[in-house]
A and B are shown apart, each in its own frame.
Chain A
Amino acid sequence: MNNSTPNPSGSGAELEAGTITRLFRLGLSGPRRPVDALIDRLGAPDSEAWLERAMERAPQVGGADPAGAMLRGADTDTLSRIKSTGKKLLADAGTEDHRLTGLALYFFAVASALAHHDTVICSRTREELHPVLLDLAAVCPARWAELCTNAAANASGER
């Protein structure tokens, strides 16, 4: 076989053997991460309504509504407390819905701190957070997608 293969996109270009291998590697899914359950839920058609309900029933932190605090970028102390609330909700969750709400609070608080303050408020590195934030941005409703997109850009140092 030649080292190149006709590109199916119809552009006339050819795919080199190295490109084929790289594209083939994209098929690897790797071990399932905790955030994947949230990504799957946010990828469902009713995700906007679900996320709105989840944020409504999330416990307030210091009198602040967590969704508003995360979207507008509250101070990092508040965001850290929202993150801890999410973590606790995740640990104590009696239902899958509560677990997912906990995950949403945790990751959106982390995203908010990165997007608004360029600060990491969890133990994960920026490199670890970058793909997670891109995945979240790809499935979130618009306002949250923007938050995660900006956070991903800061995590990768693109901004």
Chain B
Amino acid sequence: MAKEDLFPATRSTWIGDQLRRDDTGRAEVNRHVMTVYALPLRAYFLGTSERWLGDADDIVQGFFADRLARDDFFAAWQQSGMPLRRWLMNAFCFYLKEQRRRHRRDNRGSALGDDPIAFCGDPDRAIDRAFVASLVQRAMDLTREGCEKDGMDDHWRVFEEHHCRARPYADVATDLGIDAARAAVMARTATRRFRMTLRDLLARDSAASEGGEDIDDQIRALVEALA
């Protein structure tokens, strides 16, 4: 099937655009998914009754290797209209069941049933918590790389010291030999970059392109859900 058929051009999303591009775009999508969604899927796996299946990182990587290679995987997600993290969680559940059946076949003597996967607590909440942590991590990585590339290492340093370590601008400014007012402006510049990166990453979780207000609503909803 042609790429255009798999991904209708009317749904302009970052993932859709990348997949329509070429194989490099596909690789870019896979890298994004593996970077941002490994942590949420790992958190989900560790909350299930299927932890016995193996090492969490190995299971998650096995899932990615199996599912991301399928041509129609993302097209099916986009047609579902679900947030990508929910879609991946569902697909991961099926994968875990497949792994369980495989174990049963391989160990004929065992008495494993085909029960639904049990989760300790609220799986959606666990996924959302880990998703937010992963998004923040990724946005920090990308913003730091961008700042360093543009010779704005000190901008990043002020941002990180102030926002991650809660140090006052005056203290960071002393370290850098600048005044506090300048440090505040530098942090503002880095914050602006961080905000744009974070919003872009969050938008990629949606099956449809979204406006700025929708992204704000999503952030508020996730913050509320995590409280």
Chain A: residues with CB nearer than 8 A to chain B? 1, 5-9, 11, 13, 15, 17, 19-30, 32, 131, 134-135, 137-139, 145, 148-150, 152-153, 156, 158-159
Instruction: Tell me whether chain A's interface is mostly helix, strand or loop, or mixed.
Output: helix
Query: Which residues of B in the span 164-221 have a Cβ within 8 Å of any Cβ on A?
Result: 164-166, 169-170, 179-182, 184-186, 188-189, 191-192, 194-195, 198-199, 202, 212, 215-216, 219-220
Say whether, besides A138-B185, A138-B189, A145-B185, A23 and B140 are in contact (CB < 8 Å).
yes
Q: A26 to B180: give the CA distance in the assembly, Å.
A: 21
Say whether, besides A8-B137, A8-B138, A158-B181, A27 and B215 are in contact (CB < 8 Å).
yes
Instruction: Tell me whether chain B's interface is mostly helix, strand or loop, or mixed.
Output: helix
Contacts of A134 in B (CB 8 A): 184-185, 188
Say whether, besides A9-B160, A25-B219, A30-B216, A1 and B181 are in contact (CB < 8 Å).
no
Sampled A-B contacts (26; CB under 8 Å): A1-B130, A5-B39, A5-B137, A7-B137, A8-B144, A9-B140, A11-B160, A13-B164, A15-B137, A20-B132, A20-B133, A21-B132, A21-B226, A23-B163, A23-B194, A24-B222, A24-B223, A26-B191, A28-B216, A28-B220, A134-B188, A137-B188, A149-B185, A152-B181, A156-B184, A159-B181
Chain B: residues with CB nearer than 8 A to chain A? 39, 43, 126, 129-130, 132-133, 135-141, 144, 160, 163-166, 169-170, 179-182, 184-186, 188-189, 191-192, 194-195, 198-199, 202, 212, 215-216, 219-220, 222-223, 226
